[in-house]
């Protein structure tokens, strides 16, 4: 098997560290690895397969000689630097929102639309964390019964806001435990400890947040550009460190029973059905943390309508399947399909 020269851009951040771990855990065929970040991280050393690797500074020439680069350095850097990597022949798998809705850039979840990858499309977008886990579950159901409409409410962990989000919840929870005055919110709009915030990202003119519109627009693009799927999302930040949860309602053209849905989901790649209400077995963020699986449970018929409708619950680790794992799986698919 051929080995590849790999770069992780934004290597010192929460997702960057998980990308490194996923490359190790999944034995991606690495010949040489390079860690890149901003100047303030230069001099740090990160461990890869037991070896210390120094962090280098990211420049527009850093992609020369690299086969595939995993970017998690934010939209501004990606927009500026990723084209230079691509022009040097490097495949860029970008975790930011910079390229997701660009018509010339594939937006890929390997279990859903691997055929969108090709040799001539060097920049590949990694979808939003909440979108990824939802479309993994939607795909087998859509193939069988054709989904017409999706209504989803998300319960998103603070790690979705990066290390600063994790730190803010930690500091507030520690202060509460000591009966001290809680630190003022900085990363979030309000106190996040023991609270829910029904706003992720800024509001748009239609009253939805950018996070909610990402779920709407990205789902349509990933599911084959099928604008017949209508999506309405409400995204909520919750005081959980890792793993996003989603309550999903779907309406389908064909009848789809809970038994059929469980069978379809059980056979799908990357999914584990955990649905035994009599034994109180259902997906929870506590058990999804650090797992590479998307969990689906609470599958039931919607009793409020005579239309073909189901509702279910999805949980996945947002730093893994929602970010780092999906990016590495895209790289694996490039190898598997002889694109890389």
Q: What is the mean pLDDT of the chain?
A: 96
Task: Give yes or no for residue 182 having a pLDDT over 70.
Answer: yes
244 membership: H or E segment, kind and range = strand 244-252
Residue pointed to by tokens 């990016």: 327
* Residue 7 DSSP SS3: strand
Residue pointed to by tokens 């500026």: 80
First to last CA, the chain: 12
Q: What are phi and psi of 291, to 5 degrees?
A: -100, 145
Give the pLDDT confidence score for residue 39 in this predicted structure.
87
Closest CA to 326 of 6, 122, 107: 107
**CA–CA separation, 300 vs 37, rounded Å?**
46
3-state DSSP helix/strand/coil % of the chain, to nearest 5: 35, 25, 40
* Residue 116 DSSP SS3: helix
Q: Which domains does the chain have, with CATH numbers?
A: 4-127+323-336 (3.40.50.720), 131-317 (3.30.360.10)
Using DSSP bridges, classify how beta strands 294-301 and 309-316 pair: parallel, antiparallel or unpaired: antiparallel
Average pLDDT value for residue range 117-135: 98
Q: Where are the alpha helices (DSSP H) in the chain?
A: 14-25, 75-87, 129-145, 163-177, 210-222, 258-267, 285-288, 325-336
Exposed/middle/buried for residue 278 (C-beta within 10 Å: 0-12, 13-18, 19+): exposed
Confidence class for position 228, pLDDT limits 50, 70, 90: confident
Tens of pLDDT along 148-171?
999 999 999 999 999 999 999 999
Average pLDDT value for residue range 36-62: 93
Inter-residue contact 224 to 140 (CB < 8 Å): no
**CA–CA separation, 150 vs 234, rounded Å?**
11
Task: Give yes or no for residue 201 having a pLDDT over 90.
Answer: yes
**CA–CA separation, 221 vs 100, rounded Å?**
9
**CA–CA separation, 281 vs 191, rounded Å?**
31
Give the pLDDT confidence score for residue 226 in this predicted structure.
65
Length of the chain: 340
Enter the pTM of the model.
0.96
Inter-residue contact 254 to 146 (CB < 8 Å): yes
Inter-residue contact 68 to 74 (CB < 8 Å): no
| Active-site annotation, residues | 129, 244
Confidence class for position 1, pLDDT limits 50, 70, 90: confident
Tens of pLDDT along 292-324?
999 999 999 999 999 999 999 999 999 999 999
* Residue 173 DSSP SS3: helix
- Number of helical H runs and strand E runs in the chain: 8, 13
Tens of pLDDT along 274-297?
999 999 999 999 999 999 999 999
Give the pLDDT confidence score for residue 74 in this predicted structure.
93
Tens of pLDDT along 69-108?
999 999 999 999 999 999 999 999 999 999 999 999 999 9
């Amino acid at each position: 098997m051929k080995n590849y020269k790999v770069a992780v851009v934004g290597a010192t951040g929460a997702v960057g560290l998980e990308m490194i771990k996923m490359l190790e855990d999944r034995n991606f065929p690495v010949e040489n690895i390079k860690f890149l970040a901003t100047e303030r991280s230069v001099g740090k050393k990160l461990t890869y397969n037991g070896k210390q690797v120094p962090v280098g500074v990211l420049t527009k020439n850093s992609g020369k000689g690299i086969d595939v680069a995993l970017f998690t350095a934010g939209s501004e850097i990606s927009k500026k630097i990723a084209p230079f990597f691509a022009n040097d022949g490097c495949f860029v798998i970008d975790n930011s929102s910079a390229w997701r809705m660009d018509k010339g850039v594939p937006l890929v979840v390997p279990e859903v639309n691997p055929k969108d990858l090709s040799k001539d499309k060097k920049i590949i977008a990694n979808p939003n964390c909440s979108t990824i886990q939802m479309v993994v579950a939607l795909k087998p159901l859509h193939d069988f019964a054709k989904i017409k409409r999706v209504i989803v409410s998300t319960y998103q962990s603070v790690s979705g806001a990066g290390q600063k989000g994790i730190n803010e919840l930690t500091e507030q929870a520690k202060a509460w435990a000591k009966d001290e005055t809680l630190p003022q919110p900085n990363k979030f709009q309000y106190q996040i400890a023991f609270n829910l915030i029904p706003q992720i990202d800024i509001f748009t003119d239609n009253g939805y947040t950018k996070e909610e519109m990402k779920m709407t627009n990205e789902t349509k693009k990933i599911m084959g550009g099928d604008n017949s799927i209508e999506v309405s999302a409400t995204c909520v930040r919750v005081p959980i460190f890792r793993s996003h949860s989603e309550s999903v309602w779907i309406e389908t053209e064909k009848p789809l029973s809970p038994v059929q849905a469980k069978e379809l989901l059980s056979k799908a790649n990357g999914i584990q059905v955990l649905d035994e209400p009599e034994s109180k077995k259902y997906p929870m963020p506590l058990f999804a943390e650090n797992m590479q699986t998307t969990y689906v449970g609470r599958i039931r018929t919607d009793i409020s309508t005579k239309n073909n409708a189901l509702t279910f619950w999805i949980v996945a680790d947002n730093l893994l399947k929602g970010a780092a794992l999906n990016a590495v799986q895209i790289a694996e698919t490039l190898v598997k399909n002889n694109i890389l």
